[in-house]
Amino acid sequence: MNGRYCLGGALELFTLGPDKDSSPEIVLSSSEPEDVERRIRQALRTLSSVTGMAVERLAHDISMFDYDLLRARLPGTLVLRDSIHLRIAEKFIVNARKFLTSAAAAEIRKVIVVPDNQSAGAEYANSCRLGHTFKGSFGFTIESPAGPAAQTLDGEAPPAPLERRVIERIARGLTLVEKATAVKSAEPLLIGASEGFNFNMLSDFTTWIADTSAGKIKYDITLTPAWAPSPDIRLSAEIEDTALPILDSAISQLGPAVGPVLVTVVGQVVRLETREIPANLLDEGRYEIGLEGASSETGSIALRVRLSAEDYLLAVDAHRNGRVVAVTGEIGRASKSATMLQPSSFRVF
């Protein structure tokens, strides 16, 4: 058998044959032998020698063979001694779950707006797992079960399961968000809504990005080889906060027709953003803050607000001293995350 040997039907390690280009194989013909763990360790060491990969990494990759992985890396500005604030971690995980639920519902229903979004996709979200974070940067790994690829009677590979289609929809949507941000237009998101992010996914993804207040999140996807990937899939994307106004625009155009909503939001400044020198702020500069609060129109809300230079200085002071602020203005729709470009008033209490 091409230089590999199996003894007596019991579990045995197949060793690499004389052909240097041949691949090693492991045959687990029985799980009964008492030394099964030793033999598996031998197999892993053999694979490690051939591939150059660490034994621990090989063991992990084998155990994850029937899972697709979605990794989200946070920037170093949020990390201190390999840790992040619990508030950020909690919101990240809660919003990730909502987004996965929306993604499954979009793939199941195949419509732009899913009325019963949470019930439609809850089973898929419940099947996902939160994996370990990874060294070198702080992030989260979401493990999505893909299942083994069984062959049909005619030998053709069966259609990809729902779980794989959900991950591929997410990959397409992330690529479209990158493209829309690059061209500063919601058009790519609108055109791709049927195969990428639909209305529900856009809404939950926007909240996910806004609540994290990371400035930038890098997404990477690893697909199990158990299923062949679709040819149009890109497996990485980098989403910045500059995408939020474009996402809001797409949401307002895809969702039910509503006019702008006048709101007063009271809460805390959680993020400051400007390219100007703080000691020399000019009126023509761009000054934005992230605000977490509540209003009677929306309930709790994550709000991105563009301010004048004068109001931005007030926001800096409020953020430094933990003071409550209130901002009044129009947002595109009453949702859990929004952008306010021209507030009519900004106050610090």
User: What angle in degrees, to the nearest 10, is found between the helix axes of 244-254 and 199-212?
Assistant: 150
pLDDT at residue 14 greater than cutoff 50: no
One domain, residues 86 and 58: no
In a domain, 51, yes or no: yes
In a domain, 157, yes or no: yes
Give the total number of structural domains in the chain: 3
**pLDDT digit string, tens, across residues 323-338:** 999 999 988 776 677 8
Q: Which of 225, 254, 283 is the last residue of a domain?
A: 254
Instruction: Count Cβ atoms below 10 Å from residue 174 Cβ, excluding itself.
Output: 24
One domain, residues 243 and 104: yes
When mean pLDDT is compared across 31-45, 76-90, 96-110, 288-302, the lowest value belongs to: 31-45
One domain, residues 217 and 234: yes
One domain, residues 156 and 282: no
In a domain, 7, yes or no: no
One domain, residues 76 and 117: yes
- Of residues 127 and 139, the one with the higher pLDDT is 127
Backbone angles phi, psi at 129, to 5 degrees: -130, 155
**pLDDT digit string, tens, across residues 161-206:** 999 999 999 999 999 999 999 999 999 999 999 999 999 999 999 9
pLDDT of residue 273: 84
The answer to whether the CB of 294 falls within 8 A of the CB of 266 is yes
β-partners of residue 338 are: 303
Of all residues in the chain, the percent with pLDDT exceeding 90 is 38
In a domain, 173, yes or no: yes
One domain, residues 235 and 131: yes
pLDDT of residue 274: 80
What is the spatial distance between Cα 132 and Cα 142, in angstroms, rounded to a whole number?
9
The answer to whether the CB of 134 falls within 8 A of the CB of 141 is yes
One domain, residues 82 and 225: yes
pLDDT of residue 55: 80
In a domain, 5, yes or no: no
When mean pLDDT is compared across 143-147, 255-259, 266-270, the lowest value belongs to: 255-259
The answer to whether the CB of 212 falls within 8 A of the CB of 239 is no
Instruction: Look up the CATH number of the domain holding residue 308.
Output: 2.40.50
pLDDT of residue 247: 93
Q: Give the highest mean pLDDT range of 9-23, 109-123, 131-145, 183-197.
A: 183-197
pLDDT at residue 159 greater than cutoff 60: yes
In a domain, 6, yes or no: no
**pLDDT digit string, tens, across residues 279-311:** 565 656 778 898 999 888 778 888 889 998 889
Beta strands in the chain (DSSP E): 12-13, 26-27, 67-74, 129-131, 138-145, 216-222, 236-240, 261-274, 287-295, 299-307, 325-331, 337-340, 345-348
pLDDT at residue 9 greater than cutoff 60: no
Instruction: Count Cβ atoms below 10 Å from residue 343 Cβ, excluding itself.
Output: 21
One domain, residues 32 and 85: no
pLDDT of residue 13: 46
What is the spatial distance between Cα 198 and Cα 298, in angstroms, rounded to a whole number?
21
One domain, residues 248 and 267: no
One domain, residues 170 and 240: yes
In a domain, 203, yes or no: yes
Confidence category of residue 3, pLDDT binned at 50, 70, 90: very low
In a domain, 42, yes or no: yes
What's the token pair of residue 21? 């280009």
Q: Domain range spanning residue 300?
A: 261-348
One domain, residues 216 and 120: yes
Q: Which of 192, 222, 254 is the last residue of a domain?
A: 254
What's the token pair of residue 329? 């203005």
pLDDT of residue 46: 87
Averaged pLDDT, 132-144: 75
pLDDT of residue 197: 97
pLDDT of residue 45: 86
Q: Which of 239, 254, 269 is the last residue of a domain?
A: 254
What is the spatial distance between Cα 36 and Cα 328, in angstroms, rounded to a whole number?
67
**pLDDT digit string, tens, across residues 46-74:** 888 888 888 887 776 776 678 899 999 88
One domain, residues 286 and 213: no
